[in-house]
Chains A and B, each alone.
Chain A
Amino acid sequence: MERKKFKLDVSSTRTRRILFYLTLIVLPILVGVICLCIGRFTTTPSETLSALGRILTQDIAPGDTLAKIIRDMRLPRIALAILVGGGLSVAGLAFQSLFANPMASPDTLGVAAGASFGAVLALLFDANTLVTQFSALLMGFVAVGLTLTIGKGKGADRSLTAMILGGMVISSLFSALISLVKLVADTDAKLPAITYWLMGSLNDATWYTVMFALPFILTGIVILYAIRWRLNILPMSEDEILASGSNVNVLRMTTAFASTMITAACVSTCGQVGWVGLLIPHICRMAFGSDNLILVPASVSFGAVFMILVDTAARSLSPSEIPVSVLTAIIGAPVFIALLRKTGGWSL
């Protein structure tokens, strides 16, 4: 049976292609602007837009609370949501291709557990935000390095199954280490901070955080965007990848490196945010088919939109902030089940 899916190929007109990419760019911006109006300090879109104008022209009066709230709180938060949402989605997509496994997520190689441990360790020693984030980033890479060493077979070849198993081992090792840190942490002063951080939230978003995450996430996305056609070959057998004239190890390692960099940067700025990397790529597959030429840009865009919406809900649904990872799971699980029922199963 032929499913109707959006296709971009030689038969689709140039206008249609441009329109598609334009939508992908405009959609997160539009959703972002709408969500700027939402919050405990409610505004109308026209007020928000004029405030945005004042921010851009740097013409903010001392008493202009709205412009300050938007500039210092909502805008960086939405920018970070765009980065994290888009980044985690495309990282999940790449890992699913890499492991030829629809269940793979950005955490498959143990990045998230490693990065969390790095952050938690820094929090234990009362480190400032910068140190915490660097520590998280570093431990994320250490964890992946360990996973790859475990997964390395004899000689140069790495077996994918060994890599997945290695990721599980390293993940559970770092989870244990996190528990250890929690055990020794001061129950009044540090444990709440650690626990809250682990739940994942964009609450701490500042322009500074955005600037910290931006280079890593953007580089990762650009790399994956550049090799996006090759991601179509990645799930195939090693012989088929070789016969496509690609260097298997370079291709796999590039993909793993870019995705790891994105995930580590996300975890180090806003903790563990689950589900995005699994949910968004599959929703995009259901909508657009399996061609990574389309899936990569679509995942970035839809991941960003999803994250803005969920984070806006997280900060405005209740008087106290709901951790965003709790919301992604609560929203993600049923939506995902419904989608699965409708389309009938997992596939890449």
Chain B
Amino acid sequence: MIFEVQNGCFAYPHGRKVLNNISFSVGKGEMLAILGPNGAGKTTMLRCMMGFLKWNAGKSMLDGEDIANMTQRQLFSKVAYVPQAKNAALSSNVKDMVLLGRSSHYGIFGKPGSKDRLIVDKTLQSLGLSAMANRACNELSGGELQMVLIARALVSEPQVIILDEPESNLDFKNQLIVLKTLHALTEQGITCIFNTHYPVHALRHADKALLLDKTGNVIFGPVHDVITEENMQRAFGVETVIGHIETPHNEYADVLAINTISEETNHMMDERKESEGSHMTQNSNEEISRLATLSIIVEDRENAEKINAMLHECGKYIIGRMGMPYPQKGVSIICVVIDAPETVISTLSGKLGQLKGVSMKTTYSKK
């Protein structure tokens, strides 16, 4: 299912324009991260996307159909929304709370049946939440409540799931649990769209990113094109370094904020760049290509297929490739030489690094 926004504009009555001409599209099983400083309108945008607020101009579309022409029930049996897990005052138990997710399949007089309760049980089980099924929602921790709200969204069997800062207010481990859950959903073909304050979460988990700044401007594209040092500085007013954390097995993308930059400085730099003709943009495709080798060790046979598919997608950049099974240790070794724009290489290596049982490193040529 393709979720699309075309030329969306929104302003609060008598207020300044918050969102200006926003267009993006997310395909089946893709993950889109929406980033932006506080007050840039991330939540407003989510609300506009689902019709909670009406776009002043432009539209949201689901597989080419304008959602404004769909009934509430039609729309929300395909799209599910996960609000921020504020501490719920409701003492209803987890099962009843999750069951409410089925309500988009019923009219106002509808009641859930045993079939719906079975779906709830299955969903709780698949998310590992069965143990808390009978606990009261107001006794859960923030992380548990967030997972319950995700479960509630999933029982409606959506094709698109939209989450408002799902990993905010959660600890280290719970953030990872939520992000891994989203990742698993995309593998089932569900489209995930989420707001986040963490560029690094976008960089590691999302396929695409959308960056809002306070002037209502927007950049959208593959995540490695959008989250660049230059764009982060421009949108957040923070001097940023994007690099890698290296372990003996893998390397992981990381984003570090180094220094805040005063608005004037940021503005001056913008103006200078504007006079030079460059602007906050995604890296253009004419960017100089670089030469790199990817060395991969695969422990898991099943992943070999996935890796092949990923490499196939970048086929036109690959100039050499070697594969070698090493049955004594039960692993396969793959070596790829690639000549491509840097963002293509980092996207590929980011994705490969996500796979379980895969050790992977990238070496770039000096130039």
Contact = CB atoms under 8 A, between A and B. Distances in A.
A100 B89 contact: yes
A247 interface: yes
A237 B91 CA distance: 15
A232 B92 CA distance: 9
Contacts of A291: 92-93, 96
B76 A226 contact: no
Contact of A9 (B92, B117, B135): B117
B91 A229 contact: no
A3 B96 contact: no
A245 B118 contact: no
Contact of B91 (A1, A226, A233, A348): A348
Pick the 5 closest A-B CB pairs, nearest first: A245-B104, A243-B81, A290-B92, A245-B73, A245-B76
Interface in B79-119: 79-81, 83, 89-93, 95-96, 100-101, 103-106, 108-112, 114, 117-118
A10 B92 contact: no
Interface string A219-251: 000000011011011011111101111110011
A329 to B, nearest CB: 26
B90 A245 contact: no
B322 to A, nearest CB: 50
Interface residues of B, number: 40
7 contacts: A2-B134, A100-B89, A239-B47, A239-B52, A242-B50, A242-B72, A293-B111
Contacts of A237: 83
Nearest to A102: B89
B139 A1 contact: yes
Contact of B93 (A226, A246, A290): A290
Contacts of B96: 232, 289-291
A42 interface: no
B95 A9 contact: yes
B118 A244 contact: no
Nearest to B110: A229
Q: Which of B52, B72, B105, B106 has the most CB of A within 10 A?
A: B72
A153 B332 CA distance: 65
Contacts of B118: 10
Contact of A229 (B51, B75, B112): B112
B103 A348 contact: no
A189 to B, nearest CB: 50
Interface in B114-145: 114, 117-118, 134-136, 138-139
Interface in A1-25: 1-3, 7, 9-10
Interface string B14-46: 000000000000000000000000000000000
A250 B93 CA distance: 26
A240 B91 contact: no
Interface of A: 1-3, 7, 9-10, 100, 154, 226-227, 229-230, 232-233, 235-240, 242-247, 250-251, 254, 285, 289-291, 293, 347-348
B24 to A, nearest CB: 21
Contacts of B343: none
Contacts of A100: 89
A246 B108 contact: yes
Nearest to A251: B108
A244 B90 contact: no
Given A240-B83, A244-B100, A245-B76, A226 B109 contact: yes
B52 A242 contact: yes
B362 interface: no
A2 B72 contact: no
A57 B134 CA distance: 51
Contact of A243 (B76, B93, B95, B106): B76
B52 A244 contact: no
B77 interface: yes
B327 interface: no
Contacts of B110: 229
A237 B90 CA distance: 12
A230 B103 contact: yes
B13 interface: yes
Given A251-B108, A347-B138, A244 B76 contact: yes
A100 B91 CA distance: 12
Contacts of B108: 227, 230, 246-247, 250-251, 254
Nearest to A2: B134
Contacts of A230: 103, 108
A233 B117 contact: no
B270 to A, nearest CB: 35
A227 B13 CA distance: 34
